[in-house]
C-alpha cells in the first residue's frame, strides 16, 4: 500500500515558502516554517500523552491557528481527527460520541467542562486542552492512503448523525477536485470561512486570513471589521457560505467600500438564487463570483458564475441553474424512490435513469465522492448505490438535466410538494419570493393539505405590500403565513431547515 499522508503537502509547501505567512488572525500571524515547527512538536506531545496511530480524536476547537496545528499533528501521527461543529447541542454531542467511539478529546475549556455533564465525553479516556509542551521526540509510524484522516458529521438534525469518513487518499482526490475550481495560488491571500478550504491553502502556499465569524451566532458578524481585515491584509479571494457573502454584499451595496485587492469570491453550501446572485454582482462588479454546488459527500458537483445565473432572473425555468457538471463528477438523474436502491449491474442503474428535462434524484460518482460512513451501515445502504465497483452517491436533491447538459436543482426531495397528481418545487417559490422587495426569505410547504407560502420579511411595515405582491405574482397559494424568522441550517446559516420550520408552524 502506498505511503501517503495529507500532512506531506503542508510539509512540502513549508519547505518552499518558509517565511511566508500561513495563517493570519486578529491576534496572530504565523509563517509556514513556524507552523511546521509547532506541528512537529505537537505531534510528539500527542504521542507522549498516549494518542496513537488509528486513534479517533474528538475535536472541539474554533477555527484558529491552534485548530490547524492540532489537525496537522494528528494527521502526522496517523490519528483520525473527528470534527465537532461550534454549534453542537448536547443531544448531538452525545450522538456523535456514540457513533465515533473516540479514544481522545481535545477542546477548549468550555467544552471540556461539559464532560461533567456528558456521559459521552466522560467515557473518552484522554482529555487535553488546546496547548502543548515540548517533549522528547517519539517514533512516528508511517501512514498509508487507506488510513482514515478525518471524520466530519453531516448537518442532519434527525436520526443517527452520518459520519463522513475521509481517508488520506480520499482527501488527496477531494483536494485535487476542489483546486480545479477554487485554484489557490501562492501569491493569493484568502479569507476561507469553510474550514476544509484552509487545509487546501496550507498545501498550496496560499496565505489564509481567519475572520471572526461564528455561523451559530450570525447576528454577531462584524461586517465593517471584516472589510477592515480584507483591506489590511490585501485579501484577494473569499471562500465562504452564501450568508457570509450576502452580508458583505449588502453592506458594500449601501456603503461605498473600495477593496482593489479582492478579485475572486467562491461560495457554496446552500442554494443561491438569481436575485441574490444579482446582489453579489452589483456589490462587487470587479470580482469574479463563482457558486459551487456540492455536499459533504461530493464536493464539487458543478459550479456557475454569478453573472451567468443573473441572466436567469426572469426566466421561467422549473429549477435553479447550477452549471455544467464538474470534470471530476459524473452526474445522472434517476427515478424518485424511497428506501435503499440496489443495482446488480450498470444495466439495472440505466433502467432507473430519466431523460433530459425530467425531474428525479441527482446522483453523482467520481474519485472525490465519499464511499463510506463510519459506523453507520443504514446510512450507507440508503445513500449509496454500488454498481460494479463504482460508488454513486444519492444527493437527496431533486433536479433535472437540460437538453444542453446544464444541471438544474428543484429542491430537496423531502421538501417536494405532491398535489393533485403534480409535483411542485419549493425552489421555484423560493426564487420568485426572493425577488419580491421586502422579503428576506420565503418558501412553500404543504400544511394541512393547504399550499402554504411562509415568508420572513425585512420589516413589519412592509407586510401588507408584500402580501399583495405575492397575491399578484401568479404563484399558486392557499395560505400566506408571516413568521419572525425562518430557521436556517446551523452550519452555514444559509439553507432552510424545512423539518424545523414544519414543527414551528404546527
Q: Where are the domains of the chain?
A: 7-165, 325-413, 416-505
pLDDT beyond 60 at 374: yes
- Nearest Cα neighbor of 491 from 61, 81, 164, 86 is 86
Q: What is the pTM of this model?
A: 0.93
- Contact, 68 vs 42, CB < 8 A? no
Q: Give the list of residues 6+ apart from residue 428 with CB closer than 8 angstroms, or none.
A: 318, 319, 410
Confidence of residue 113 (pLDDT cuts 50, 70, 90): low
Mean local confidence (pLDDT), 16-44: 97
Q: Over 80: is that where the pLDDT of 347 sits?
A: yes
More confident residue, 198 or 99: 198
Using the predicted structure, report yes or no on whether residue 434 has a pLDDT greater than 60.
yes
CB-CB neighbours of 64 under 10 Å: 16
Span of 75-89, 137-151, 195-209, 398-412 with lowest mean pLDDT:
75-89
Q: How far apart are the first and last CA of the chain?
A: 55
**pLDDT of 1:** 54
- Please state which architecture CATH assigns to domain 416-505: 2-Layer Sandwich (3.30)
Average of per-residue pLDDT across 479-484: 94
| pLDDT number for residue 223 | 95
Domain 325-413 homologous superfamily, CATH: Luciferase; Domain 3 (2.30.38.10)
The residue ranking higher by pLDDT, 491 or 224, is: 224
Written as nine digits, the cell of 138 is: 517519539
Q: What share of the chain is helix, strand, coil (3-state, %, to 5)?
A: 35, 25, 40
Q: Return all residues near 359 (Cβ < 8 A) that are at least 6 apart.
A: 318, 319, 333, 336, 398, 399, 400, 410, 423, 425
pLDDT at 243 over 80: yes
CATH classification of 7-165 is 3.40.50.980, yes or no?
yes
Question: What pLDDT is recorded for position 157?
Answer: 45
Task: Using the predicted structure, report yes or no on whether residue 76 has a pLDDT greater than 60.
Answer: yes
Of 92-101, 184-193, 422-431, which gets the smallest average pLDDT? 92-101
Q: Indicate if the pLDDT at residue 87 is higher than 70.
A: no
Extract the C-alpha cell encoding 488.
436556517
Averaged pLDDT, 347-352 = 97
Mean pLDDT of 376-404: 94
- Cα–Cα distance between 407 and 360 in angstroms, integer? 12
Amino acid at each position: 500500500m502506498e505511503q501517503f499522508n495529507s500532512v506531506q503537502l503542508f510539509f512540502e509547501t513549508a519547505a518552499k515558502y518558509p517565511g511566508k505567512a500561513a495563517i493570519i488572525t486578529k491576534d496572530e500571524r504565523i509563517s509556514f516554517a513556524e507552523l511546521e515547527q509547532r506541528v512537529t512538536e505537537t505531534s510528539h506531545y500527542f504521542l507522549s500523552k498516549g494518542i496513537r496511530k488509528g486513534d479517533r480524536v474528538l475535536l472541539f476547537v474554533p477555527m484558529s491557528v491552534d485548530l490547524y496545528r492540532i489537525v496537522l499533528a494528528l494527521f502526522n501521527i496517523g490519528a483520525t481527527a473527528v470534527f465537532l461543529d461550534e454549534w453542537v447541542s448536547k443531544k448531538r454531542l452525545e450522538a456523535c460520541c456514540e457513533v465515533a467511539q473516540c479514544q481522545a478529546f481535545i477542546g477548549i475549556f468550555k467544552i471540556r467542562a461539559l464532560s461533567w455533564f456528558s456521559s459521552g465525553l466522560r467515557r473518552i479516556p484522554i482529555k487535553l486542552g488546546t496547548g502543548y509542551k515540548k517533549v522528547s521526540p517519539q517514533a512516528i509510524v508511517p501512514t498509508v492512503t487507506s488510513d482514515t484522516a478525518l471524520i466530519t458529521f453531516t448537518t442532519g438534525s434527525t436520526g443517527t448523525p452520518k459520519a463522513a469518513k475521509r481517508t488520506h487518499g480520499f482527501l488527496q482526490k477531494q483536494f485535487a477536485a476542489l483546486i480545479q475550481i477554487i485554484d489557490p495560488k501562492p501569491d493569493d491571500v484568502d479569507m476561507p470561512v469553510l474550514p476544509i478550504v484552509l487545509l487546501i491553502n496550507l498545501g498550496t502556499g496560499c496565505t489564509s486570513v481567519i475572520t471572526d465569524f461564528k455561523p451559530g451566532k450570525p447576528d454577531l458578524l462584524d461586517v465593517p471589521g471584516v472589510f477592515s481585515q480584507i483591506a489590511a491584509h490585501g485579501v484577494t479571494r473569499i471562500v465562504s457560505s452564501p450568508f457570509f457573502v450576502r452580508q458583505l454584499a449588502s453592506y458594500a451595496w449601501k456603503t461605498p467600500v473600495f477593496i482593489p485587492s479582492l478579485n475572486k469570491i467562491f461560495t457554496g453550501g446552500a442554494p443561491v438564487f438569481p436575485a441574490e446572485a444579482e446582489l453579489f454582482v452589483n456589490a462587487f462588479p470587479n470580482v469574479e463570483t463563482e457558486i459551487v454546488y456540492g455536499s459533504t459527500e461530493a464536493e464539487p458537483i458543478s459550479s456557475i458564475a454569478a453573472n451567468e445565473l443573473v441572466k436567469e432572473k426572469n426566466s421561467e425555468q422549473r429549477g435553479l441553474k447550477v452549471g455544467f457538471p464538474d470534470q471530476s463528477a459524473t452526474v445522472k438523474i434517476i427515478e424518485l424512490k424511497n428506501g435503499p436502491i440496489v443495482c446488480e449491474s450498470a444495466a439495472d442503474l440505466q433502467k432507473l435513469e430519466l431523460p433530459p428535462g425530467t425531474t428525479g434524484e441527482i446522483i453523482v460518482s467520481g474519485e472525490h465522492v465519499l464511499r463510506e460512513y463510519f459506523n453507520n451501515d443504514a446510512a450507507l445502504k440508503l445513500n449509496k448505490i454500488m454498481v460494479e465497483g463504482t460508488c454513486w452517491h444519492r444527493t437527496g436533491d431533486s433536479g433535472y438535466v437540460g437538453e444542453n447538459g446544464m444541471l438544474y436543482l428543484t429542491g430537496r426531495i423531502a421538501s417536494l410538494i405532491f398535489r393533485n397528481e403534480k409535483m411542485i418545487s419549493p425552489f421555484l417559490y423560493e426564487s420568485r419570493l426572493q425577488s419580491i422587495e421586502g422579503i428576506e426569505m420565503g418558501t412553500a410547504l404543504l400544511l394541512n393539505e393547504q399550499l402554504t407560502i411562509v415568508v420572513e420579511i425585512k420589516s413589519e411595515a412592509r407586510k401588507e405590500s408584500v402580501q399583495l405582491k405575492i397575491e399578484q405574482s401568479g404563484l399558486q397559494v392557499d395560505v400566506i403565513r408571516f413568521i419572525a424568522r425562518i430557521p436556517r441550517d446551523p452550519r452555514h446559516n444559509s439553507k432552510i431547515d424545512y423539518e424545523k420550520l414544519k414543527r414551528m408552524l404546527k
